[in-house]
Structure 1
Amino acid sequence: MPDVEDPQPGGPTRRVLLLAGAVTVGAAALGVQVAASAASRRTGVVAASPVASGTPTPTPTLDPLPDPTPFATFPTLANPGVMQDFSYLPAISTFFVTQKSAGSEAAFETLIISRVNASGAVLDAMTLIDGGHGLGIEAESQPDATYIWVTWQGKSLESGWRENDFVRFRYTPGSWSRADAVGQLGLVVLPLKDEPEAQFRFDWKNDWAVERHYDWNGATETYKRRRISDISNGVMLPDEQLDRLPLPVDPPTTQGFATIDDTFYRWLGRGTVGDAIEPTDPITLQRFDWKTGRLLAEQHFSTVSKVGTSWPGGKFEPEGMCMFREPDGAATLLVGDTTGLPKHEHHVSAFARITI
């Protein structure tokens, strides 16, 4: 990546915009297959991460994971740029992969979402004009359509300034402006607080929605664990009622994140040209305990997607992370990367049936 944009000083305070023509937020209106529970109203544990508090990083307590195994390769995508993130629907063996390109103005980026089969072939693509960077995407399969959840980091229809709205809409190939998406794709603007940068990843089985909030005022980012059902019903609990993980960033460079049960995962590392790993920002997988904020494991990987001793095309960058459930409920964690320069190839690797 990197996966953050330059801040826009002097812009208006972010406020929730239920745009004209948008569907009213609510689980019934969205058709979301989640159920609100008593736990979604509980007072969460405020979990300040040890690695963000200035205290020494604790010794990890988990055994290292084996190297991830190759899962999918995308020789090309709809755009020549690097992959940013992805979501995977195992029932139909289909990926939804994000990329970015230049927006209509310097302050904006256009988001491209490619629909890709398990063989790596691009089936079709969707372009969201001034839609944003593409970190954090969830695909949701419903009987009538596939729906996309993503942060739309484009122009507000009201102010003309950059907004960061968490939205849900029908995946529909073609090129779409924000106004068109509102009118034709069933776009729903979901509630966010006054935050300049926020992305989400889901654990559908447990109704967890993890929000990443980047702090422009310091080298930190905070992850907050919400309920999908809360967001769908327009409920945004205050921070003091949420599990929270404040973590250092830049370095390390965040390339993806995911949550499985009570464990949080972060995929890190700067891109590198040549065969050597960037020593100050290596390819890293971190695992944290949501209940305590403790760093459970930190593991560096130096051979992901290498062919022999080299990366194809002499370039490598970690790009994206998601999880999915096997039919028996076991979770598989997927991590992505892009290799090659100037022609890119994109890879997904799997930590299969991960237990923590």
Structure 2
Amino acid sequence: MPESARFDLGGAGGNPVWKKSLHANWVMQSFAYDNVNQHIYFAQVNSQNTDPAHVGDLWITKTDTSGTQLGAMTVHNFGHGVSIAVEPYNGSVYLWTEWKSSDSGFGTRIGRFAFKNGAVLEKTSTAIQDRTPSIGDEMINPQPSIDPSTDRLLVRYKTGADLPRIVAFNLSDARAGRLSSEHRLAERALPSRGAWGTDNPFQGFAAYGQYVYLLEGRANGPSYISVVDLNGAGQSIVVDRAQTTAGQSLPGREPQGMAVWMHSSGPRLAFGFHSNTAGVRQASVFYKSEFV
């Protein structure tokens, strides 16, 4: 991957979204920016729903960049909502999410579909385009993200227990369904998570240039942002890892989701937290905008 700047994980950063309620009183899992129209799309999952007919149901809430609701749609049996990507294209906004949830509640494929306010989308709908990479690896729990600075689709997936990997494609190829081995731009192993992963669950990722940023941590515990160089080899360790105290006062604070926000003042690495105030679930977003 071409060389790029790396976000500085220190400093105060910013907090454009603070304790905003989304469309449903469900747990915010991830979010991404429409960087053309300056909107956010949040994915929420009902973590307490064990009905097989509704495992993997997600609400998608559209907001402005301060978290004020502008619309919503629901998708059935898609997954856990670990990561969402937003693609403004030809006057419409397309969402990329995990799709076709398994009994575990996590998606087994990646789907691309247009956002339509008020719509209900079943997993069998012909409006969904299958955009799952076919690169020879077994693709367990694939999760999409778009790097808006390079127009690239990145997919994090596993090939087995504690064997995470990531692969990158040009967004134009991915949009057209060209997701086979000859079209990939980069692929590499991510660090095995081991005991670290047990203590600090994976909560989302974002990419900017040659670097991938991983959000890790558990509810009511410490939260971390880790950085991996896509030009590294094997399961090389992160080039940086920092604990973030952003949102420390949030009740039930749990890290959820990352995205790159192309703001008029410059790119921002945004990361989110779910909180629970007396049963009311809310979303907060913070960002880093300085580079090392």
**TM-score interval for Structure 1 and Structure 2 normalised by the shorter chain:** 0.7 to 0.9
Q: Given the superposition, is the C-alpha separation of residues 241 and 138 from structure 1 closer, same or farther in structure 2, using an over 3 Å criterion?
A: closer
Displacement over 6 Å in runs of 4+ = 238-241
> Is the Cα–Cα contact under 8 Å of residues 75 and 345 in structure 1 kept in the other structure?
yes
Please point out which of 173, 180, 197 is paired with 1:230.
173
Provide the residue aligned with 1:350 in structure 2: 287
- One-letter amino acid matched to 1:236: S
> Is the Cα–Cα contact under 8 Å of residues 31 and 258 in structure 2 kept in the other structure?
yes
Please point out which of 269, 276, 285 is paired with 1:340.
276
Provide the residue aligned with 1:331 in structure 2: 267
Please point out which of 134, 158, 161 is paired with 1:218.
161
Between 237-246 and 70-79, the greater mean CA deviation after superposition = 237-246
- One-letter amino acid matched to 1:290: L
1:240 deviates by 9.8
Counting matched residue pairs gives 272
Task: Name which one, 1 or 2, has greater alpha-carbon Rg.
Answer: 1
Between 164-173 and 96-105, the greater mean CA deviation after superposition = 96-105
Provide the residue aligned with 2:238 in structure 1: 295
1:300 deviates by 0.7
Larger fraction in strand = 2
Larger fraction in helix = 1
Secondary structure class of the residue paired with 2:270:
strand
TM-score (norm 2): 0.81
- One-letter amino acid matched to 1:324: W
Check if 1:201 corresponds to 2:148: no
Q: Given the superposition, is the C-alpha separation of residues 74 and 171 from structure 1 closer, same or farther in structure 2, using an over 3 Å criterion?
A: farther
- One-letter amino acid matched to 2:157: H
Q: Given the superposition, is the C-alpha separation of residues 202 and 219 from structure 1 closer, same or farther in structure 2, using an over 3 Å criterion?
A: same
> Is the Cα–Cα contact under 8 Å of residues 68 and 350 in structure 1 kept in the other structure?
yes
Provide the residue aligned with 1:171 in structure 2: 115
For residues 128 and 162 of structure 2, the distance between their equivalents in structure 1, rounded to whole angstroms, comes to: 33
For residues 219 and 266 of structure 1, the distance between their equivalents in structure 2, rounded to whole angstroms, comes to: 15
Secondary structure class of the residue paired with 1:205:
coil
1:340 deviates by 2.3
- One-letter amino acid matched to 1:260: Y
Provide the residue aligned with 1:317 in structure 2: 254
Check if 1:88 corresponds to 2:44: no
Secondary structure class of the residue paired with 2:268:
strand
Please point out which of 206, 212, 215 is paired with 1:258.
206
For residues 15 and 40 of structure 2, the distance between their equivalents in structure 1, rounded to whole angstroms, comes to: 15
> Is the Cα–Cα contact under 8 Å of residues 131 and 153 in structure 1 kept in the other structure?
yes
1:151 deviates by 1.6
Secondary structure class of the residue paired with 1:206:
coil
Please point out which of 224, 244, 247 is paired with 1:305.
247
Check if 1:108 corresponds to 2:55: yes
Identity %: 18
Secondary structure class of the residue paired with 2:181:
coil
> Is the Cα–Cα contact under 8 Å of residues 331 and 355 in structure 1 kept in the other structure?
no
- One-letter amino acid matched to 1:187: I
For residues 301 and 154 of structure 1, the distance between their equivalents in structure 2, rounded to whole angstroms, comes to: 31
The runs of 5 or more residues in structure 1 that have no matched partner are: 1-38, 45-60, 156-161, 273-277
Q: Deviation digits for residues 282-341 of structure 1, max 9, x if unmatched? A: 311111222124522111123x113xxxx24x311001000022347x421000001224
The runs of 5 or more residues in structure 2 that have no matched partner are: none
Q: Given the superposition, is the C-alpha separation of residues 212 and 147 from structure 1 closer, same or farther in structure 2, using an over 3 Å criterion?
A: same
Alignment of 1:98-177 (within 5 A): 98-101=43-46, 102=49, 105=52, 108-154=55-101, 164-172=108-116, 173-177=118-122
